[in-house]
Structure 1
Amino acid sequence: MGGRASGAFASLVGGSPIWSDRLRRRILRFAGVDLARDARIQPYVRFVGSPRRLSVRSGAFVNVGLLVGANADIVIAERASLGPNVQLIPTTHEIGPHEQRAGATTSAPIRIGRGSWIGAGVTVLGGVDVGDGCVIAAGSVVTRDCEPDGLYGGTPAKLLRKL
C-alpha cells in the first residue's frame, strides 16, 4: 500500500471510533505505523502522507483527533502523552517570490521526548525536538526545540519555567 493510500486507510479505517483500542492498534500497524504493543492511539487520528513515518513508543498515549503530517519522521517517545487535537506538522514552504510566496516544500523530523505531556490543541512544527519531561501548555505553537523538564506555552511557545 503506497503512502497516500495507506494514509487514507489509516485515517478512515484506523481512525474510526468503532474499533476497540486493540483492533485500532492492529489496523494502524497494518497501515505502517510503528506502534508499541502498549501504546494507545484514540479515534479520529488523521494522516497527511505515509503513516510509516510515525513511531509511537512504549507507554505513549495519543488522545482523540491527532493530525499527523507524515512527510518526515515523527517519534512519540516512551510514556509521552498527547492531548486532544494535537497537530504534528513536519512540512512547510520556503518563502517564494512576490508572485507566489508559498515556495518549495521542506520537511524536517519531529520528536516528542520521553514522559512529555503535550496539551490540547498544540501544534508542533517540523525540526522540533521536545525534550524529555516537558509540558507544553494547551493551544501553544512549538516552533523550536524545547529543553528537557521545561514548561512551555504561547505562540510561539516559550519557556515559562523549569520543572
Structure 2
Amino acid sequence: MTEKEKMLAGLMYNPSDPELTKARYHARLTFQKANALTEADRAERDALYNSLIEAGQDLCIEPPFHCDYGSNIKAGNRVFMNYGCCILDVATVTIGDNVMFAPNVQLYSATHPIDAKSRNSGKELGKPITIGNNVWIGGNSTICPGVTLGNNVVVGAGSVVTKSFPDDVVIAGNPARVIKNITNNDL
C-alpha cells in the first residue's frame, strides 16, 4: 500500500511521504491564494475553494479557510463555512446538505497514537468525520476524529465533540453532551 492508501484506510502512515507532501503543498497554495482575494474577486475565490473540495451546489466559504488536502472533504448542497474554518482531512470528512459552520469551527480527522513510542515514530493516522444534513455547528467548536453527527444536530458554541451523536439533538460543552432533544415545537 502507498502511504496515501494507508492514510485513507485509517492505518498508520508517514506524513513525510513525497506524494502526501506535494498534495498538502498544492492545497496550501490554493487556499492561500483564495484567502488573499478580496470580496471583489469572490467568483475567483469561490472557484479556488471549489477546486479543493468535492461539493454540491452553493458551497460558500468565508476566508480564511485552511485544510490539509481538501480532496478528502465531501460536502453536500448549501454548505456554509464562516470565517476561520479549519478542516484536517487526512481521513474523509463528509458534510451533508444545509450545513452551517459558525466562525472558527475546526474538524480534525487527524490523530496520533496514544503510546509515546508509537507517537514518536512520526507516523500518524486518521479517523473519518461525518456531519449529517441540516446541522449547525456553533463558533469555536471542535469536532474530533471519528465523530459522526446525525441529521438536524445543533452544536453549541465552544463545544468539543469527542463522540458521535444521533439525529435531532442539541449538544454543547467540553466534552459535548446532549442538552436537549429537538422537537417540532422548537424554533
Normalising by structure 1, we get a TM-score of 0.89
Give the AA of the match of 1:43. Answer: P
Matching of residues 109-120 of structure 1 within 5 Å? 109-120=128-139
Distance 2:171 2:37 in 1: 31
Distance in 1, Cα, partners of 2:42 & 2:165: 31
Q: Distance in 2 between matches of 1:37 and 1:10?
A: 20
Alignment of 1:35-46 (within 5 A): 35-46=55-66
What are the residue-to-residue correspondences of 1:25-104 with 2, within 5 Å?
25-30=46-51, 32-47=52-67, 49-97=68-116, 104=123
- Output the CA distance in 1 between the equivalents of 2:119 and 2:126: 17
Distance 1:101 1:72, change over 3 A: closer
- Residue 16 (structure 1) aligned to one of 25, 28, 36: 36
- Distance in structure 2 (CA, Å) of the matches to 1:57 and 1:83: 17
Which of 152, 156, 161 lines up with 1:142 in the alignment? 161
Between Structure 1 and Structure 2, the one with more helix by share is 2
Cα deviation digits, residues 104-142 of structure 1 (max 9, x gap): 422011111100100000000111111100000000000
- Classify the secondary structure of the residue corresponding to 2:112: strand
Residue type matched to 1:27 in 2? L
CA contact (8 A) 1:93 1:102 kept: no
**Within 1, Cα distance between the matches of 2:42 and 2:128?**
27
Q: Report the Cα offset of residue 22 of structure 1.
A: 2.9
Question: Helix, strand or coil: the match of 2:71?
Answer: helix
Name the counterpart of 2:15.
none
Give the length in aligned residue pairs: 160
User: What's the % identity of the aligned pairs?
Assistant: 26
SS in 2 for 1:159: strand
Is residue 10–residue 51 contact of structure 1 (8 Å, CA) maintained in 2?
no
Query: Whose strand proportion is higher, 1 or 2?
Result: 1
- Point out the structure with max Rg over C-alpha: 2
Q: SS in structure 2 opposite 1:25? A: helix
Separation in structure 2 between the aligned mates of residue 102 and residue 122 of structure 1, nearest angstrom: 28
Q: Is the 8 A contact 1:11 1:45 kept in 2?
A: yes
